[in-house]
Amino acid sequence: MAGDYRADWLRVPVGDDAARWATRSDCHRVLAIVHNVTSATRLLDVLPLFRDDLRIQLLATCTGSSPFQGGVRELLAELAVPVLPWEQALNTPVSLALSASLGGELASVRGPVAVLSHGVGYNKRLATPDTGHRTPDTGHRTPDTGHRTPDTGPVFGMSPEWLLADGKPVAERLVLSHPEQLDRLRRYCPQAAPRAVLAGDPCYDRLLNALPHRERYRRALGVRPGQRLVVLNSTWNAESLFGDGEQPHLLGTLLDRLTTELPLDEYRLAAILHPNIWHGHGPGQVRVWLDRARRGGLTLIDPTEDWRQTLAAADAVVGDFGSVSYYAAAIGVPVLVAAPGAERLDADSPVAEFVRTTPRLDLGRPLAAQLAELVGGHRPRPSLAAQASSAPGRSAALLRRTFYDLIGISEPARPAALDPLPLPPYRPARPSTPLLALTRRQPDGTVLLRRHVDPAAPITGYDSSHLAVHEDTLETHALDIADVVFRDGAPDDPRLGGPARWTAEALHARPHAALAVLVTGPDSCVLRLRAGQLLDVRTPPHTADPLACASALLGWLADGGSLRELAADGLWLGVGEQRHRAEVTPLDG
C-alpha cells in the first residue's frame, strides 16, 4: 500500500503508519459509504448504534458515483468522523462497511458490506444500465440521470443488475424491513436472497418514537389551535409532484391554489422535498422557484433533519409515489395523491398498492372541500403500518446484532437505541405578501376574522375588509393602499427604536394606513392607531396570531366598537371554529 500512497490520503487513524500517530490504534473500522445526501440520511439513523464502544473507529467515504453530489461535503463535515477519499477506502481493510445505496464498486470494498434501503423498502423501477457498468449510479448514463420518459426496467435494489457483481452478491447482508420484500427478492434475484436479513426500519422507528411529541412539533411549526397542517411532499424525477414530466404545470397550479384558497388562520402549509431535488438543483434555486409560495406562508422543511417531525405534526399530506407519502399514511396521516407515477413503481410493491388505493387530488374541485373530506372521512389503514416494518420498534436491536455479527465481536451490554428526533426550531408562518382580512362583529361582540393572501378573495358573509401589508413586502405598491402596516421585531431591537417609535414612523411614512403593528413575540404585538393611541395586545400562549388580533381590533373599531370596551372586557376573536380572547392594554407613547 505504501507505493500507492497519495498526498490526499489520511494518515490517521488509517494509513501505513497510523499506529505511530493514533491514540487508539487497535480498533475495528466501520466505514460509512455515502453515495449522496439521500442515502447518507439512513446511515445517520444507524451510526449511533456504535456509541460508547471504544473498540470501534468510525470512518466515512463518498463513492463519487452518484450524479447528486451537492450537499455531501457539508454533511460529511457535520458528521465529523475521518473522511477517506474513495480510492483510499477501497485500499483500506475494514471490519464492516455500511451503505444505504448500491453502486460505486461496493464489491471491491475490503470487508463485509451491509446494505440498507434509503426509503420504505425497494419499490421503484429504473432503466437498466447500458454502459457495461454493474451499478446504476456510476456517473454515466444510468437511472439517476433523470430520463424524460418513465422507466420500466428492473426494480432497484431487487434485481441482479444492482445486487450482483460477476454473478456474486455485492453485499454480505442485505437489510430488509418486511418479509414481502424477501418474497420479491427471491423472485427477482434468488442469488442474493440468502444474504438478506429482516431487521426492521430505523427511519420508521424514529418516526414512531416521535409521535408522542406531536403537539411540540406543531408548536415549533407555528400551528395554532384549530389550524390544519397540510404538508406538500414530492419525491424526485420528472413524474414526481415537483417534476415537469407528464403534468408540467401541476406544481405551480397547486401552490397557487393552496396559498390563495385556504384561509391563512385555518391552515398551515409546509413542503417536504426529496434531497435529490434540493441538491440536484440547489437549495437556493428551489427557494427561488418557490419564492411566491414561501412569501404566502409555505415553509420549506429541511429534507435531512426535520421532515419526520413535520409528518408527525401533519393533519394531511398532498404527495406522490415517494416513500415520504407512504410513511405519512403508515402513521395514520391522511394522504391525497397528486402524482401517482404508476410506471415508476413495481406493481407488486406495497407503495404501488398504496398509490392505487389512496384518494386522488382533483384540481377541478375546491381544495378546502377536498381536505375537509379527506380529514373528516379518514380511517387509519393498519395494513400500511404492518408493511412498513415487520419489527416496529426493534430495528435498533436487530441491526446492531447484525452489524456486530459481521464485525465478529460481542455487542455492548447496554440496550441498543436510536437517537430521538430533535425538536425543530420555531418556524411560524409570517406571510410577506399582502393579506386581505375580512371581519364581521357578532352580537356577542366576537369579531369573526378570515384572512387570505389573495386580495381578490370573495367578501361574502363579512361586513368589512382591509389590507394588511408587511413593511418589507415585494409588492411595494400595496404599501400605498395598506390599511395595516406590520413587521416582526423584538421590543428592544435598536434598529427599530422600540415599538412606540417604530409604529409612529410607520404611520408617518404611510398616510393611508389606519394601523401600524409590531409583532413582538409569538403571542404579543404593539400597535398604534392613526389617532395616536398605542396599545399592547396579548393572547394566552399559543392561541391566536397577534397579527390576526390586530386585524380583529381594526374590524371592531370599524363596526363602531370602542377602545374603552376592549380595555375592560378584552377582544374576542373568532377564527374558523376557534374563539380566542386577547388582552388590550393602553400604553404611553
CA–CA separation, 378 and 101 (whole Å): 34
User: How many angstroms separate the CA atoms of 279 and 504, rounded?
Assistant: 45
In terms of DSSP H, where are the helices of 232-322? Answer: 250-261, 275-281, 283-289, 291-295, 307-313
What amino acid is encoded at 137 in this protein? D
Q: Rounded to whole angstroms, what are the CA distances from 471 to 477, 484, 494?
A: 11, 10, 17
From the options 1.10.4160, 2.60.40, 3.30.70, 3.40.50, give the CATH code of 26-201+391-407.
Answer: 3.40.50
Q: Which residues pair with 467 in a beta bridge?
A: 436
Say if 26-201+391-407 and 210-381 have the same CATH topology: yes
Could you tell me where the beta strands, DSSP code E, fall in 463-512? 464-470, 484-488
Smallest CA-to-CA distance from 551 within 459, 473, 468 is with 468
Which cell is 44 given?
A: 445517520
Angle at 88 between CA 85 and CA 94, to 5 degrees: 110
Report yes or no: 265 and 451 within 8 Å, Cβ to Cβ: yes
Q: For strands 515-521 and 524-529, give the pairing.
A: antiparallel
C-alpha cell at 43: 446511515
Q: Which helix (H) or strand (E) holds 15?
A: none
Q: Is the peptide bond before 283 cis (omega within 30 degrees of 0)?
A: no
pTM value is 0.93
Residue range 210-381 in CATH 3.40.50.2000: yes
DSSP helix/strand/coil, 32: strand
Domain extent listing, the chain: 26-201+391-407, 210-381, 435-587
Full pLDDT tens readout for the chain, 589 residues = 444 568 889 999 998 889 999 999 999 999 999 999 999 999 999 999 999 999 999 999 999 999 999 999 999 999 999 999 999 999 999 999 999 999 889 999 999 999 999 999 999 887 544 333 334 443 333 333 333 334 456 898 999 999 999 999 999 999 999 999 999 999 999 999 999 999 999 999 999 999 999 999 999 999 999 999 999 999 999 999 999 988 888 999 999 999 889 999 999 999 999 999 999 999 999 999 999 999 999 999 999 989 999 999 999 999 999 999 999 999 999 999 999 988 899 999 999 999 999 999 999 999 999 999 999 999 999 999 999 999 999 999 999 999 999 999 999 999 999 999 999 999 999 899 999 999 999 999 999 999 999 777 777 889 999 999 999 999 999 999 999 999 999 999 999 999 999 999 999 999 999 999 999 999 999 999 999 999 999 999 999 999 999 999 999 999 999 999 998 999 999 999 999 999 999 999 8
Q: CA triplet 21, 27, 32: central angle to 5 degrees?
A: 100
Query: Which position has the grid cell 420498534?
Result: 393
